[in-house]
Amino acid sequence: MLISFIIFVIIYIILILLILLIPKNIIKKYIYLFNYIVIYIIGFSNIKINNLDILKKYLNSDEKVLIVCNHTSLFDGFILYALTEGSISFLFDENLPNKMPFFKYVLEEKCNSLMTKKNNTVKDIKKHVEKRKKNEEILCIFADECGKVEKNKNIAKFKSGSFVNKFKIIPIIIKYKNYKIDPTHKWYNNEILISFLKLFYGESGDIVINICNLLECKKEWNVDDYKNYVYNFMNKEYDKI
């Protein structure tokens, strides 16, 4: 565990230096290579991604879509960025990345991620999605905000922000299986540091990432209708993985 953590810190420092010195169009491949190394060090060695061609199809177009994904572990972003070969960007509260050196700079300037204030989230999502061009990263939103999963559910309740603009949605479901240590980030139980360090213990089990076909909002649906439709679909698909 200690050796893995030390290696992670060293690689993180090297990445920072590379980011400062190398242009955005070149550094991108180094960032997702770094993500591959990180997840290997942690022990996430058995990862399967299904239907990557669906994501590539929309990446290679200028269609205005966004990704909705469930959020379980602190390293979901690392895993998704690596396995999609840097095809996605992320939505963050602007206050969160400031807690880590260079984090905001990396996400916003090098990975084309979206930093937003809570009162501006819906407006910022709309602007970000509508200005995306062909081959630019597709915005990924963790609509459940890594919340507590209710009994008899697989995914925490979704927030409404992802659905207000009624963009077409590519659902991505990430599922951790056969683990010895639960990778869930239980911030609601004040397990902030523990949720980070426990992932370096190893024996992290299997991870399956399932990219699903595009979902669309029907004209007669309101925001809650659309949100519940996507949520129920992803809960059911989670069971099939």
Whole-angstrom distance, CA of residue 121 vs CA of residue 119: 6
Q: Is the predicted pLDDT of residue 95 greater than 80, yes or no?
A: no
Whole-angstrom distance, CA of residue 45 vs CA of residue 18: 25
Q: What pLDDT, in 10s, does the model give residues 2-13?
A: 565 666 667 667
Report pLDDT for 78. 83
Q: Which of 170-184, 187-201, 217-231 has the highest mean pLDDT?
A: 217-231
User: Going by C-beta distance under 8 Å and a sequence separation of 6 or more, which residues neighbour residue 158?
Assistant: 68, 143, 144, 227, 230, 231
Report pLDDT for 23. 65
Q: Is the predicted pLDDT of residue 147 greater than 70, yes or no?
A: yes
Tokens of 43: 């022990």
Report pLDDT for 161. 93
Residue 227: phi, psi to the nearest 5?
-60, -45
Report pLDDT for 208. 95
Residues 182, 183, 188, 193: is their CA dihedral positive or negative? positive
Q: Amino acid letter at 167?
A: F
Q: What is the mean pLDDT of residues 181-197?
A: 74
**Domains in the chain: ranges and CATH:** 2-240 (3.40.1130)
Instruction: Of 215, 208, 175, give the one whose Cα is nearest residue 54.
Output: 215
230-235 long-range CB contacts below 8 Å, 24 or more apart?
230/68, 230/143, 230/158, 230/163, 230/169, 230/171, 231/143, 231/155, 231/157, 231/158, 233/171, 234/68, 234/70, 234/154, 234/155, 234/171, 234/173, 235/153, 235/154, 235/155
> Is there a contact between 232 and 197 (Cβ–Cβ < 8 Å)?
no
Whole-angstrom distance, CA of residue 52 vs CA of residue 215: 16
> Is there a contact between 168 and 201 (Cβ–Cβ < 8 Å)?
no
What's CA 22's distance to the chain center, in Å? 24
Query: Predicted confidence band at 82 (pLDDT cuts at 50, 70, 90)?
Result: confident
Residue 115: phi, psi to the nearest 5?
-100, 130
Q: What is the mean pLDDT of residues 180-195?
A: 75
Q: What pLDDT, in 10s, does the model give residues 31-76?
A: 767 777 777 777 777 899 999 999 999 999 999 999 999 999 888 9
Query: Predicted confidence band at 92 (pLDDT cuts at 50, 70, 90)?
Result: confident
Report pLDDT for 7. 62
Q: What is the mean pLDDT of residues 233-239?
A: 97
Burial (CB < 10 A; 0-12, 13-18, 19+), residue 118, is exposed
